[in-house]
Structure 1
Amino acid sequence: MCSKEKKTVVHITTVHHPLDPRIYYKQCQSLQRAGYDVTLLAPDAEKVIPSSIVNIKSINRRNNRLLRIGISTLEAYWKARKLKADIYQIHDPELLPVAWLLKKKSNVVIYDIHEDYETAMMEREYLPKPVRRFCAKAYRLVERLFSRKLELCLAEKYYREKYPNGKCILNYPLVNEKLVHHNRTDKPIEDKLLYTGNVRVDRGAFHHAKLPLVDENISVHLIGQCPGNLAEQMEHLAGEAKDRLHMEGVDRYVPKTVIDECYVKHSWLAGIALFPPSDHFKKKELTKFFEYMSAGIPILCSDFPAWKAFVEKHRCGMAVNPEDEQEIKAAIDYLRNNEQEALKMGENGRRAVLETLNWEVEEQKLVEWYDTLWRKNEKTS
């Protein structure tokens, strides 16, 4: 643990919501409880979080991307600099120049890599491929330039392939007591499939929309923000079965509390993640996996090697070819016709979350890493 004299820490984001689980609920609160004096600098944070164990300071919210990158970044730098923190941690790529400017011999600056931004840029289909390739290479170059003196915090294990010197503080979930104590055996499993999170094409929107056509008894429930034009396309794909395609979150944000209620609202057959092949997602351990597991819901996901290995290791679901409707139908039939096995998969997942795949384990790693970084910096500064 840190010394009796509190060391000051500032977490900075211009992109994420102030209540972002990884930033606020996990890292900021964990470090505050561990004895650090933590400040969160985020868009409109003082309005969103009127009281907290963490110090809260606002950056003005700017919805225009160019204004955010230009003006919000400058505002974040000046406000962060005035705080004269011992440790700074940034959470957005656009803040790399800020991190570079904040870095002194007397402090530690951390870049928290939430996403594989390089492959994410290659997934932006609204841009021509040459432009995507240029943006990805330019980002990698800028990142290398500005992060040379920074410590790297990695949210996913596979990021070590790109950042061998990074520290893995994995984005495992806080244990949700309501979910883990939810009893799935008190009523029969229903012919309902659940998807939670933002609804996008690269996150399987079209594959999920066609599921009511794959099985005439299945209803599909998508709980998360979905653009209206995409919702219309999905309903068109579902055709005559669109009455069994339910979307909560068309053109609006769905709060985490609402999503949590949905996990226990029905006795779901499976939680789904039938994503199309993608370099960006194929190695990620999706947050929704852990939430499905916490609620005791079997996972039905794409058979990317990493995903298949994950569900097989924890015996918590089934991986199928997202392009093969017969294989998907067979998996649905198996879960439906083998209720005890489906319940067992759900319980296996819940047990894995309670024992190892949770934030409590990562919290200890985070605090120990911070303590080590600070002691090392004190010796060299």
Structure 2
Amino acid sequence: MTISKGRIVHLTTVHHPYDPRIYHKECLSLHKAGFDVTLIAQEADHDLGKDKPIKHITLKKYTNRIKRMIFGTMDAYKKAKKLDADIYHFHDPELLPVGWLLKRKKNVVIYDIHEDYVTSIMQKGYMSKPVRKVIATAYKYMEMFFARKMELCLAEKYYKDIYPKGVRILNYPTINEKFIEHRRDNRPLEDKLLYTGNVSYVRGAHIHSKVPLIDEAVSVHFVGKCPSDLAEEMFSIAGERRDNLKIEGIDQFIEKEDIEARYLSHNWLAGLALFPPTDHYMKKELTKFFEYMNAGLPIICSNFPVWEKFIETYKCGIAVDPYSETEIRQAIKYLRNNQDEAKKMGQNGKQAVLEELNWNTQEENLITWYDQLLKYN
């Protein structure tokens, strides 16, 4: 009989229960290491199921954000408290009060910081700048108050500058054996560009929608959740080239396995990350980069200094001015006309993931950290 190393509860009221970082990386890694892991998350279209190793306690799904933040968090707290866990690990800012209430001398509470929330609030275009500043400041002080006795888990390198006491557990991809076996060097690349992950304005939805107008030979394929009103805007921007925009995921979550299958469905010319400049994204090494590299795709991305340095370091793509149609057109043309070099970029990226930028390195850090927390608590 296997003896559990400790009872662990992961909580989210915002993320999908199959969220890649929460479920596929952290929860599964901890389960594999011998911890008793339970996930408290919203209902899914189909449940995690009895054959899945992670116990899933469901929360009601609210379409209204205010109701979710009030009733969803209350429900999460009640269900989490009953489990009397050794470690509570939560993933949303709205759960800060819940984490604070769950903290006891005999347990550990971890706040997993997925985003730079202060900077993210400051870039919300639908609010006036004074309102954004007030909300961002209020959030900062609320976070400082509630999180002062918590451990902090950081998903991004530069977050360490904001949270010096935090522990980096970076959001690198799991190594996909099918990607390793998949060969791209024995057939021509197609005039198809891929974007994976959530689709939004700040993630370049409008810029990506113009690409079929910039180069009429290409089609752009989006695989990730996209609000229906944004999808209509994107089709409108593409105009007469709208048929060259393919959006899979309008108003629905696309699961990790389905996204990974799309990587193998075509011999893509490149993966796209043409984001507009925002303080939030300019400092980040996008998880999207690692996923494109994992699949052996060259990257066409914005030429932010951090991103351009990343591309140069790993020789895995081309960085361009996201507002320059000429540079975007030239990058696409270069990859199309220099396919051996394009495939070499993809191979460079894949090799970097296999050797360095993969979840195995972070899994080891996560498990060591958990062991230490339980030992010294």
- Name the TM tier (shorter chain): over 0.9
Which is further off, 43-52 or 196-205? 43-52
**Distance in 1 (alpha carbons) for counterparts of 2:137 and 2:167:** 23
Structure-2 change in CA distance of 1:232 and 1:148 (3 Å): same
**Distance in 1 (alpha carbons) for counterparts of 2:309 and 2:369:** 29
Instruction: Please give the secondary structure, in 1, of the residue aligned with 2:331.
Output: helix
Written as runs of structure 1 = structure 2, the 5 A alignment for 1:1-381 is: 6-44=5-43, 48-51=47-50, 52-377=52-377
**Distance in 2 (alpha carbons) for counterparts of 1:288 and 1:357:** 12
The aligned amino acid for 2:43 is: D
Instruction: Please give the secondary structure, in 2, of the residue aligned with 1:58.
Output: strand
Shift of 1:5: 5.7
Instruction: Please give the secondary structure, in 1, of the residue aligned with 2:271.
Output: strand
Shift of 1:4: 5.6
Shift of 1:250: 2.9
Structure-2 change in CA distance of 1:84 and 1:282 (3 Å): same
**Distance in 2 (alpha carbons) for counterparts of 1:249 and 1:110:** 31
Q: Where does the alignment leave 5 or more consecutive residues of structure 2 unmatched?
A: none
**Distance in 1 (alpha carbons) for counterparts of 2:104 and 2:281:** 36
The aligned amino acid for 2:194 is: L
Shift of 1:117: 1.2
Which is further off, 160-169 or 37-46? 37-46
**Distance in 2 (alpha carbons) for counterparts of 1:323 and 1:5:** 53
Per-residue CA deviations over 1:104-154 (Å, capped at 9, x if unaligned) read 111111101011111121222122222111111111110000000000000
Structure-2 change in CA distance of 1:205 and 1:5 (3 Å): closer
Structure-2 change in CA distance of 1:251 and 1:69 (3 Å): closer
**Distance in 2 (alpha carbons) for counterparts of 1:45 and 1:208:** 30
The aligned amino acid for 1:285 is: E
2:20 touches 2:256 (CA, 8 Å); kept in 1?
Answer: no
Per-residue CA deviations over 1:331-355 (Å, capped at 9, x if unaligned) read 1121112111111000011111111
Per-residue CA deviations over 1:290-337 (Å, capped at 9, x if unaligned) read 121111110000011111111111111111110111111121121112
1:220 touches 1:246 (CA, 8 Å); kept in 2?
Answer: yes
Instruction: Please give the secondary structure, in 2, of the residue aligned with 1:364.
Output: helix
Structure-2 change in CA distance of 1:5 and 1:325 (3 Å): closer
Shift of 1:46: 11
1:45 touches 1:59 (CA, 8 Å); kept in 2?
Answer: no
- RMSD, aligned α-carbons: 1.7
The aligned amino acid for 1:86 is: D
Shift of 1:175: 1.1
Per-residue CA deviations over 1:71-115 (Å, capped at 9, x if unaligned) read 121111121111111111111111111111111111111101011
Shift of 1:12: 1.0
Which is further off, 250-259 or 22-31? 250-259
**Distance in 2 (alpha carbons) for counterparts of 1:62 and 1:227:** 16
Q: Where does the alignment leave 5 or more consecutive residues of structure 1 unmatched?
A: none
Shift of 1:14: 1.2
Which is further off, 250-259 or 271-280? 250-259
Which is further off, 357-366 or 332-341? 332-341
Structure-2 change in CA distance of 1:338 and 1:38 (3 Å): same
1:272 touches 1:301 (CA, 8 Å); kept in 2?
Answer: yes
**Distance in 1 (alpha carbons) for counterparts of 2:225 and 2:205:** 12
Which is further off, 156-165 or 12-21? 12-21
**Distance in 1 (alpha carbons) for counterparts of 2:157 and 2:359:** 15
Aligned residues: 375
Q: What is the TM-score with the length of structure 2 in the denominator?
A: 0.95
**Distance in 1 (alpha carbons) for counterparts of 2:258 and 2:282:** 28
The aligned amino acid for 2:17 is: P
**Distance in 2 (alpha carbons) for counterparts of 1:83 and 1:16:** 21
Identity of aligned residues (%): 56
Shift of 1:168: 0.1
1:46 touches 1:57 (CA, 8 Å); kept in 2?
Answer: no
Which is further off, 67-76 or 315-324? 67-76
Instruction: Please give the secondary structure, in 1, of the residue aligned with 2:190.
Output: coil
Which is further off, 84-93 or 180-189? 180-189
Shift of 1:47: 5.6
